[in-house]
Amino acid sequence: MSRFEAAYLKLLRTGKLEHRARSAAEHMKSCDLCARGCHVNRLLSTKGAACRTGEWAVVHSYGPHHGEERPLVGRYGSGTIFFSWCNLRCVFCQNWDISHKGLGQEISAEELAAMMLELQKMGCHNINLVSPSHVVAPILAALVVAAKNGLHLPLVYNTGGYDSPQALALLDGVIDIYMPDMKFADSEVARRLLRAPDYAEVNRAAVKEMHRQVGDLVLDENGIARRGLLVRHLVLPENLAGTDRILSFIAHEISTETYLNLMDQYRPCYRADEYPPLDRRPSGAEFREAVLLTKKYGLLRLDRP
């Protein structure tokens, strides 16, 4: 394939990247940079109503990660930055100490940029922004600094999938690889389990827009992801997530060439025991049924076939 260039570098050369960062900061005055649309002024001391995050991002940890999807990990790992807090309130969150308690350190744009550049120096194949939906503005501010200082790796937007059109418009031409969850097909279920009463509708619209921006996942000659959409879906017991409806949506309204990680690692965490059937893992038969559905819908690009 032709020589890769991260999407944001073109915006940097034209001055549009700095404009996006300034626009994102303006949005924070009445914040609509996630699908909650709480309209809190996050530039003041008040923090987002759901994300509990103010002007600056809070980072829990960062470093090379070898447990991500195969096209992201390669030989040297995916350069993950784990942001604290979240715009979802999943009752079964496996990282609840980070997303619900907010363990981490508030950092400036310069400090976040330095993390990106350090991950690049370590040899990571990408910069993997984990739970970024509520910190789009701090990310863009940091990216301007990092790109001016030599950052050239592809950006991975590793999201729970509850993303606003306003945020995605700011990220158009910035993000190289979108990696959204598709958690639930039914918003009533999502209301109970994510505290997001419009999750399914918002999620489907967001994934469509992400695919419009970057297309199907493209790999280089070494199997490393360069650009495109990668969808994650966690199989839950008793088809609680609506796996059949989600896979049908991907096949019919996104692309049968969608790269899909159909995940089998659900285990009860946090408050899951209060919400049966989340108090148990899916059975082997339930997961095998989900795999058969991928074949039914012609979704053959599975991360772990």
78-105 pLDDT, tens per residue? 999 999 999 999 999 999 999 999 999 9
117 lies in some domain: yes
Number of domains in the chain: 1
Instruction: Return the percentage of the chain with pLDDT > 70, whole number.
Output: 99
- 74-78: list long-range contacts, CB under 8 Å, 24+ apart: 74/125, 74/222, 74/223, 74/224, 76/122, 76/123, 76/124, 76/125, 77/122, 77/123, 77/124, 77/125, 78/124, 78/125, 78/126, 78/128, 78/156
Whether 124 contacts 156, CB under 8 Å: no
Does the structure show a pLDDT above 90 at 304? no
Give the pLDDT confidence of 227-274 residue by residue, as tens digits: 999 999 999 999 999 999 999 999 999 999 999 999 999 999 999 999
Q: What integer pLDDT is reported at residue 2 of this predicted model?
A: 62
164 lies in some domain: yes
Does the structure show a pLDDT above 80 at 226? yes
- 101-107: list long-range contacts, CB under 8 Å, 24+ apart: 102/52, 102/53, 102/58, 103/60, 104/58, 104/59, 104/60, 104/61, 105/58, 105/59, 106/54, 106/56, 106/57, 106/58, 107/56, 107/57, 107/58, 107/59
38 lies in some domain: no
- Average pLDDT over every residue of 131-157: 98
Give the pLDDT confidence of 199-213 residue by residue, as tens digits: 999 999 999 999 999
- Average pLDDT value for the chain: 96
Output the domain CATH number for residue 101.
3.20.20.70
Residue 45: pLDDT band (50, 70, 90) is confident
Burial class of residue 222 in the structure, from the number of CB atoms within 10 Å of its CB (0-12 exposed, 13-18 middle, 19+ buried): exposed
Give the pLDDT confidence of 111-123 residue by residue, as tens digits: 999 999 999 999 9
Residue 49: pLDDT band (50, 70, 90) is confident
50 lies in some domain: no
Does the structure show a pLDDT above 90 at 152? yes
Q: What integer pLDDT is reported at residue 305 of this predicted model?
A: 54
267 lies in some domain: yes
265 lies in some domain: yes
Domain encompassing residue 90: 7-25+56-296
- Average pLDDT over every residue of 167-183: 98
220 lies in some domain: yes
40 lies in some domain: no
Does the structure show a pLDDT above 70 at 126? yes
